[in-house]
Amino acid sequence: MPANLPPEYFQVEKKYRTARTTDEKIAVLRELLSIVPKHKGTEKLQKELKSKIARLKREKEERKAQGGRRAAIYTVRKEGAAQIALIGYPNAGKSQLLKSMTNAQPEVAPYPFTTFKPNVGMAEFEDIAFQLVDLPPISEEHIEYWVLDIVRNADLALLVVDLSDDDFLEQTRVVLEKLEERKIIPVGKGEAEIHVVGPIEKRTILVANKLDAPDADLRLEMLREYYGDKFPIVAVSAVEGRGLEELKRVIFRELEIIRVYTKEPGKPPDMSDPLILKKNSTVLDAAREVHKDFAEKLKYARLWGSSKFDGQRVEKTYILEDRDIVEFHI
Ligand SMILES: Nc1nc2c(ncn2[C@@H]2O[C@H](COP(=O)(O)OP(=O)(O)OP(=O)(O)O)[C@@H](O)[C@H]2O)c(=O)[nH]1
Ligand SMILES: [Mg+2]
């Protein structure tokens, strides 16, 4: 803060804290700008005031576009086999990861707080695709409500860790802590539970990014020591494209989903658009996924796929496996 500001400045500044609407805030900032003496020593302050005004104006425009709600709210409709939230400390490489794994073209920049709205892309894996949602960073600063909502809603979270930064452990701790404060508990394998109220557990993979950076391998070792028991860890270099196929395999595994293809009697199976079911789903669950009425009328099914089945009849309670082909009989 420049030393030679008139006392009036500090009087007006107090008003900013009690300003409730964006318009009130902008008005106070403009007033401050007019009070600031214009010389070299206050250039930085003037610039900061101007950029704050610009940001508030932009937020206001965005709100208008969103139908006048209090803050910009973004939601992302699920597409593909699963929705996966990219979370992490500022500058960890979340947007670069999205860019390297999908056709999306998010802004990537060598400074923090680049992303302020969700960027979405589809990552193809074998015959299915995962929807990746790149989000603004999670840090000590205020986290927008809608960001947490998207994380809560996602089928899986990728916590991106920056292996090029000496503070990577502290950054990871902060991200986990901030989520836990907001009642989202990142968990590793086999622990996720669904609660109707209270905290929710979110299945999470640690993505150790920037493996190409100097000493990244040493930091990776430390990360494994700290978090290896708690989370699956996949090391990647988003920039070089290293580890991304492995990451998709681990995503598929951690989602605990299976693909089931359907066929009509006397016709070849539809291999283009599998049903996506939770592991341990039954023939009846698959029928329900196709149509509710259908499930009610279901008598039995025939199954192809796993080696022992070649059109064999199975009961409604039969537990399906990944890549089974099922023919419903009603
Ligand atoms: N060396 C190296 N740099 C990377 C890698 N991935 C991302 N970066 C760099 O890290 C910086 C931040 O990348 P972003 O993708 O914008 O990071 P972000 O996590 O989306 O950042 P915010 O949107 O601010 O939260 C950029 O300079 C990227 O080029 C990587 O695999 N290796
Ligand atoms: Mg980003």
In the predicted structure, residue 204 carries a pLDDT above the cut 70: yes
Q: Domains in the chain and their CATH numbers?
A: 7-65 (no CATH), 82-255 (3.40.50.300), 257-329 (3.10.20.30)
pTM given for the model? 0.79
Mean pLDDT for the stretch of residues 137-164: 93
Which ligand has its closest atom nearest to the C-alpha of 207? 1
Task: Name residues contacting ligand 1 (CB within 6 A).
Answer: 88, 90-96, 108-110, 112-115, 137, 164, 209-210, 212-213, 237-239
Question: Where is 234: in which H helix or E strand?
Answer: strand 233-235
Q: What percent of the chain has pLDDT over 70?
A: 92
CA–CA gap between residue 25 and residue 19 (Å, rounded): 6
Q: Are strands 324-329 and 257-263 parallel, antiparallel or unpaired?
A: parallel
- Of 70 and 121, more confident: 121
CA–CA gap between residue 133 and residue 34 (Å, rounded): 42
Mean pLDDT for the stretch of residues 277-297: 91
Instruction: Please tell me the residue having the least CA distance from ligand 1 atom 13.
Output: 93
pLDDT-derived band at 35 (thresholds 50, 70, 90) equals very high
Ligand 1 atom closest to Cα of 110? 27
204-to-74, 181, 296 alpha-carbon distances in Å: 22, 16, 36
Q: What percent of the chain has pLDDT over 90?
A: 63
Among 97, 108, 116, 217, name the best residue to mutate to test ligand 1's pocket (greatest count of ligand atoms within 8 A of Cβ): 108
218: CA distance to ligand 2 center in Å? Answer: 25
Based on its alpha-carbon atoms, the radius of gyration of the chain, rounded to whole angstroms, reads 25
142: CA distance to ligand 1 center in Å? Answer: 21
Side-chain half-sphere exposure of 138, counting CA atoms within 13 A = 31
Confidence (pLDDT) at 106: 96
Confidence (pLDDT) at 162: 98
Confidence (pLDDT) at 192: 55
Instruction: Please tell me the residue having the least CA distance from ligand 1 atom 10.
Output: 93
pLDDT digits (tens, 9 = 90+) for 220-254: 999 999 999 999 999 999 999 999 999 999 999 99
Among 95, 163, 209, name the best residue to mutate to test ligand 1's pocket (greatest count of ligand atoms within 8 A of Cβ): 95
In the predicted structure, residue 20 carries a pLDDT above the cut 80: no
List the beta bridge partners of residue 275: 260
* Non-local CB neighbours of 142 within 8 Å, separated by 6+ positions: none
pLDDT-derived band at 68 (thresholds 50, 70, 90) equals low
Three-class secondary structure assignment of 49-93: HHHHHHHHHHHHHHHHHCCCCCCCCCCCCCCCCEEEEEEECCCCC
- Of 325 and 14, more confident: 325
Write the Ramachandran bin of 67: left for phi over 0, alpha for psi from -120 to 50, otherwise beta.
left
